[in-house]
Amino acid sequence: MSAPKIDIHHVAKLARLALTEQEAEHFHAQLTSILSHLDQISSHSLDAEPSAHPTPVYDVMRPDQPQLGLTQDEALMNAPRRVMDQFHIPKVVE
């Protein structure tokens, strides 16, 4: 299938571009080349099922199971400063 005749000035107008004749010839050649490559690609047979991923996707999350956490003393053990059994940090907002 051959590439259709492209009105590069119409395409430039749609893109709100002001092209000189030299630029129009240059872009016309590029666009024609791109479309011929697309024709080559579309001529190939694709016998594969469409998919979003090349391999099956599995859930990699482990099941959520409750477990014991840190006690308050263990959590505050390495705190640089603590006040009334809480972390004490410098004021961020003035």
Segment 7-20, tens digit of pLDDT = 888 989 999 999 99
Is 30 a domain residue?
yes
Whole-model pTM: value is 0.44
Q: What is the pLDDT of residues 32-44, one digit of tens each?
A: 899 889 888 888 8
Is 94 a domain residue?
no
Is 62 a domain residue?
no
pLDDT band at 26 (very low <50, low <70, confident <90, very high): very high
Is 51 a domain residue?
no
Is 56 a domain residue?
no
Is 23 a domain residue?
yes
Is 60 a domain residue?
no
What's the total number of domains in the chain?
1
Is 20 a domain residue?
yes
Q: 3-state secondary structure string, 8-68?
A: HHHHHHHCCCCCCHHHHHHHHHHHHHHHHHHHHHHCCCCCCCCCCCCCCCCCCCCCCCCCC
Question: In which domain, by residue range, is 19 found?
Answer: 8-40
